[in-house]
Amino acid sequence: MSTQTKHADSKKWISFGTLVLGAGTIYKLGCLKDAFYVPMQEFMGLTHTQIGVAMSVAGLVSTFGFLVSIYLTDRISKKIMIPSALLGIGLLGIGLSTFPPYWLFLVINCLLAVCADMLYWPTMLKAVRLLGTEEEQGRMFGILEAGRGLIDTIIAFGALGVFALMGSDKNALKAAILFYSAVPMIIGIIAYFMLEPDEIKTVNASGEQVGRNKAALENVVKALKNKNIWLVSFNVFAVYCVYCGLTYFIPFLKDIYAMPAVLVGAYGIINQYALKMLGGPVGGYLTDKVFHSATKFLRIVFMITGAALAVFAFLPHGHMNVYFGMVMTLSIGACVFSMRAIFFAPMDEIDVPREITGSAMSLGAFIGYLPGAFLYSVYGSVLDSHPGMEGYRIVFLMMAVFAAAGFFLSSYILTVIAKCKTQSAAE
């Protein structure tokens, strides 16, 4: 390997590491409730309803933010977008640490969603795709998922440590929020110096010189007209529909298996952190080294997951050991996390042009993450209207149907990929 190649490789992995650091911290303030739900109620005077409304409104902003990002990610360089998003998160966190009135709390939560979902996430996905070759896509996205899970865990425990050391009172919560604010700001400064600027093309397909705005709008139109981007996006949608159902494994084990409180805590940690850190590298490795195709990997795991959920729905759970229930649900969760880690990797495999990667990833994020805006309500209403095992059985079967849809869609995508390769060989 030449010195020049080594230098380029080092720059690639430094950039990638910077993106992982940001990905692991960008959502901590927007998801403050995950670690500090009770202190938020006690010291910020927030009710369950107020916290719920704030999350719902922020979710709505995120959905439209992904739409806007279809234009922005190919218009503005990541060297500007990513540091701006991280610094913006930090500044908003400082505002949050003042324990503002509720209307301002709502505004801050919406702006946190803008920074995370409109500015950072699609830009980061674009950057990761462009850093890796076609053969590295599974690995890159797999390591990204595992790395951000690790950083997420470290930062969360760091904030909890600050809260505990400061006395677990009102000032301790302020200190924890400021900790959550300082980390992304530091990473934002690092990102500005470590990330290379994007080469934003101002020449259209006809070779004419055009302005950045027109070039970005042309990329948006190209992305919207590209059938392959829509196929990959709906495959992400299918994965996310199954992923949303994992939330209900904990109440299922508690209600049906009477899982003890101590096991609930241990299960939650494994489900939230361990599976993310395990599923990412395993999914990435199998994609690149065994299947040599992200879509083939997704198809196989969709089939396994769908079959496991369909069988699981009809098992006699009332007569089974709690540890069996834990192993089965964690196994299904591991499959889903391995898919979630690499579900954007097929963008390269299906020949989405690299010059419209920003628009492609933004459209994929908008469609793919859309189930998060409505499916929790659907699953929840099923459980409320069908108490006990009947409700869980319906939810598991719905998840199995979404997995089946993903299997058939992945199969179709593979035929499209084969057709693309045949046409390329003939040219």
How far is the C-alpha of 51 from the C-alpha of 35, rounded, in Å? 13
- Any idea where the domains of the chain sit in the sequence? 8-198, 220-427
Q: For Cα atoms 342, 129, 182, give the angle at the middle one, nearest 5 degrees.
A: 90
**Each residue of 19-39: b (16+ CB within 10 Å) or e?**
bbbbbbbbbbbbbbbebbeeb
In the CATH scheme, what architecture does the domain 8-198 have?
Answer: Up-down Bundle (1.20)
If you average pLDDT over residues 260-278, what whole number do you get? Answer: 74
Structure tokens at 122: 């699609």
Q: Band of the pLDDT at 285, cuts 50, 70, 90?
A: confident
If you average pLDDT over residues 108-127, what whole number do you get? Answer: 91
Residue 161 CA to its chain's centroid (Å): 26
> 8-198 and 220-427: same fold?
yes
Structure tokens at 114: 């803008």
Rounded to two decimals, what is the model's pTM? 0.81
Q: How does DSSP assign 82-112, residue by residue?
A: HHHHHHHHHHHHHHHTT---HHHHHHHHHHH
Structure tokens at 43: 């010291």
Dihedral sign (CA 379, 369, 366, 298): negative
> Within a 10 A sphere around the Cβ of 80, how many other Cβ atoms?
15
How far is the C-alpha of 94 from the C-alpha of 175, rounded, in Å? 10
What is the tens place of the pLDDT at every residue in 123-168?
Answer: 898 888 888 777 778 788 888 888 888 898 888 888 888 998 999 8
For the segment(s) 220-427, the CATH number from 1.20.1250.20, 3.40.50.720, 1.10.3720.10, 1.20.200.10 is: 1.20.1250.20
Q: What is the pLDDT of residue 296?
A: 95
End-to-end CA distance of the chain: 32
Q: What is the pLDDT of residue 1?
A: 52
